[in-house]
Amino acid sequence: MSGGTSCVTPSISDTLVFPVKRFWIRPQSTQNRDSSYSREPSDVSGTFEESQLRLLKSRGTSFASCNKKCTGFHNLPRNVLVCIFSHFLEREIGRVLAHVCRHWWLASHHPTLWRHLEFNGGCVPISVICRVLRRAPQLESVKFIAVPDVSTAIRQLCRCNVGVRSVSVKYCTGKEEHIPESVLRNLVVSCHKLCCLDLKGTQFYAQRFYQDLVNLAHLKSLNLGLNRFLKAQDLMLVAINCRGLEELRLSRRRTNSEQHTLTDPDASFLFHNMRYSLTSLKFDAQGLGAETFQAILSCSLLENLCLTNALFLTGDLFQSIPKKLPNLTKLKVTKACQLSTHDFTNMSNNKLEVLEVKRCSGRLAESLMNRLIFNCPLLRILAFKDSQFHSRSFFVLLHRLPLLTSINLGYNHYFVLEDLVCIANVCEQVSEIKILSSRMFFNRELSECNNIFTKMTDSGLSALSKLHGLKSLLVSKARHMTDSGLSALSKLHGLKSLLVSKARHVTSEGWKNLFDKGHFIDMESLLLTRNEGLDDICLFFVSTTCPRLRRLSLRSCMGVSDEGVEYLIHSCRRLVYLNIDGTHPSVGLSLLQIPRKNHPSSPDRDSNLDLPSLAVELNTTSALANYATEAGLIRKA
């Protein structure tokens, strides 16, 4: 979370050292004035520590007890601590200051320190949301995601948090399907410091709302995507009233109404009026032609460009992008069917860091991929999804991209295991690989994993173990995996999310070696589904190796018992999600007898696969405003 006040944020060491210098180090003139601190010259000779030790002994007080009383850090009034903490970033307060002592923990959770709040789903009553907003007068950012009847919460925001700078109302509804325009107009008029307004997926009629946007002099980012009531006339008003807009996101829904259809002249007028300020653009170019793309390329300040459904983007316009957009660092193009291998070969940009091409063309030539590496040396993210090519020399040349951290070659039927071994040998800095040999059924439980591999063998896992930067890994349908292959993953100490499913040939010894040899200190999500070799001994090693574990799935793992699960719950204090669907019935019955504690967590509200859910929260807010939660074992209907 980014936050904090506008003043200069001091470092933790400076803040802690300053009182010590104030209370302990005195100038010589001050010591001579104060009789209680005056000493003979022989008493003040030697090092500073020796003089202080003699001073403490003369008073008959131990150093530890005097240090505890004189510094006074733990005895500062809570309002003073809150004032001091307000100069720190919110993540510094949550990760460092809150763990010093109980008194500091209580002070760090004071509502005046809350800067960022997020309300997701309809689990939290509107009355609770309004109470939270009322207690956070210094709020800077708030997000409402899929919150029903959000109008009441927005009205409360306008009354108590007029200084808010970022508001997201995504996929929300009012008492009806759409939100009244008066609510959004009140938001624009009351919160005049708004810099970011995100209304993606929220349906609302607008007659004067877009005219009122002229009151937001600081507005820099606007998202109006997926609003079926958005008309071309509304976008014209945005172009006229938001002259300082730097980021625009516009995803359109298909409609049969002519007044909601955006034409080339309309889009050309929009981008020509914003060409002197726009730096980031995400635009749905469905049905738009060369006139629109030429207007987009006239925005010479663009640094981030995402064009979806670019069916009529020609090769000449695509090749002119580096010349007309010299500051471009991120380029994403989807469904540009007219682009050929020759167009990509002539693509040269020394500043480009992200290149994502999805569903654009058929099989790509080998020369394209090799030439691309030399033309874009600063690439960090490279994605060619749904693009077929087979080039071993391309993977060998990846070492020329020292900053490359993410590769997406989804649905490439020519990709083989030897290519993965080649990537692992030349790009050890890569932290994310997405390779799917075929389209697989998407499971919501797998949504946190980035690196997806199906039918992986031991040799493939040995190659993956060389990628020490991997943060997440998904290995599904691991029927050919054995104990030795699974043990190779113990070298990936930086993993935060791991999924292994259907590892039928992995025994209890293999699971034990994985968690015994590996030190997964940062592991937060561990999804182990349909693994017959998993037992209570493995859960013991999980509890000792993964101290920060928050999500655990043992679905259809019949080897675990109630004793192992109960021990793991008591050991992993941060555990907020547990899936035991398909395990022995005694496991669920024993969990009902475990006393629950209040602990913030996050449920999968849309998942219907998890029968019991442990520590289901009512809401996820910021790290300091997560109090409105209720932990308990809830059995979903």
**pLDDT tens profile 235-257:** 999 999 998 999 999 987 665 55
Helices 48-59 and 63-71 meet at what angle, rounded to 10?
100
Q: Are residues 411 and 448 in the same domain?
A: no
452 shares its domain with 573: yes
Higher pLDDT, 261 or 540: 540
- Residue 599: the pLDDT is 38
In a domain, 76, yes or no: no
Does residue 479 sit in the same domain as residue 409? no
One domain for residues 386 and 421: yes
Per-residue pLDDT tens for 96-143?
888 888 888 888 888 889 999 999 888 889 999 999 999 998 899 999
CATH number of the domain encompassing residue 396: 3.80.10.10
Domain boundary among 423, 439, 455: 439
The verdict on 348 and 359 lying in the same domain is: yes
Q: Are residues 476 and 561 in the same domain?
A: yes
Give yes or no: residues 399 and 446 share one domain.
no
pLDDT of 91: 84
For 500, phi then psi, to 5°, come to: -135, 120
- Confirm whether 191 is domain-assigned: no
| Claim to verify: residue 504 and residue 391 sit in the same structural domain | no
Q: Look at the chain and report how many structural domains it folds into.
A: 2
Q: Are residues 617 and 633 in the same domain?
A: yes
Residue 238 lies in a domain: no
Supply φ then ψ for residue 69, to 5 degrees: -85, -35
pLDDT for the residue 211:
93
In a domain, 326, yes or no: no
Indicate the residue among 383, 406, 439 that finishes a domain: 439
Split at pLDDT 50, 70, 90, the class of 413 is: low
pLDDT beyond 80 at 400? yes
Range of lowest pLDDT (3-12, 255-264, 302-311, 477-486): 3-12
Mean pLDDT across the stretch 25-37? 37
pTM of the model: 0.68
- Higher per-residue pLDDT: 8 or 151: 151
pLDDT of residue 22: 29
Q: Say if 510 falls within a structural domain.
A: yes
The answer to whether residues 424 and 482 belong to one domain is no
Is the pLDDT confidence value at 77 over 80? yes
Q: Would the pLDDT of 327 be above 90?
A: yes
Distance of CA 216 to the CA centre of its chain: 28
Answer yes or no: is pLDDT of 216 > 90: yes
pLDDT at 626 over 70: no
Share of the chain above pLDDT 70, in %: 71
Q: Which of 388, 387, 383 is nearest to 405 (CA)?
A: 383
- pLDDT level of residue 567 (50, 70, 90 thresholds): confident
556's tokens: 């259809």
Q: Are 493 and 465 in contact, with CB atoms under 8 Å apart? A: no
437-452 residue pLDDT tens: 444 333 333 333 445 5
Which domain-ending residue is among 409, 439, 469? Answer: 439
The pLDDT of residue 317 is 92
State residue 214's pLDDT score. Answer: 92
Q: Which domain holds residue 555?
A: 441-637
pLDDT reported for residue 50: 55
C-alpha span between 629 and 602 (Å, rounded): 9
pLDDT of 162 higher than 70 = yes
Q: Are 293 and 317 in contact (CB under 8 A)?
A: yes
Name the pLDDT band for 588 (thresholds 50, 70, 90). Answer: low
Q: What type of residue sits at position 410?
A: G
Question: What pLDDT, in 10s, does the model give residues 36-60?
Answer: 333 333 344 444 445 544 544 554 4
Q: Are residues 508 and 416 in the same domain?
A: no
> pLDDT at residue 10 above 60?
no
More confident residue, 601 or 169: 169
| In the block, residue with structure tokens 């003089």 | 51
Q: Is residue 95, in this structure, part of any structural domain at all?
A: no
How confident is the model at residue 259, as a pLDDT? 58
Which string of DSSP letters, residue by residue, matches 280-346?
EEEEE-TT--HHHHHHHHT-TT-SEEEEES-TT--HHHHHTHHHH-TT--EEEEE--TT--HHHHHT
- Helices 562-571 and 536-545 pack at an angle, to 10 degrees, of 10
Alpha-carbon gap, residue 407 to 430, rounded angstroms: 8
**pLDDT single digits (tens) 614-623:** 432 323 333 3
Q: Which pLDDT value is given to residue 21?
A: 29
Residues 400, 458, single domain; the answer is no
Q: Hey, is 104 helix, strand or coil?
A: helix
- Residue-wise pLDDT tens digits, 353-385: 999 988 776 556 666 667 778 888 899 998 887
| Residues 173, 144: Cα–Cα separation, whole Å | 10
Task: State the average pLDDT over residues 619-632.
Answer: 33
Q: Say if 201 falls within a structural domain.
A: no
CA distance 287 to 260: 13
Average pLDDT over all residues of the chain: 76
Residue 476, in any domain of the structure: yes
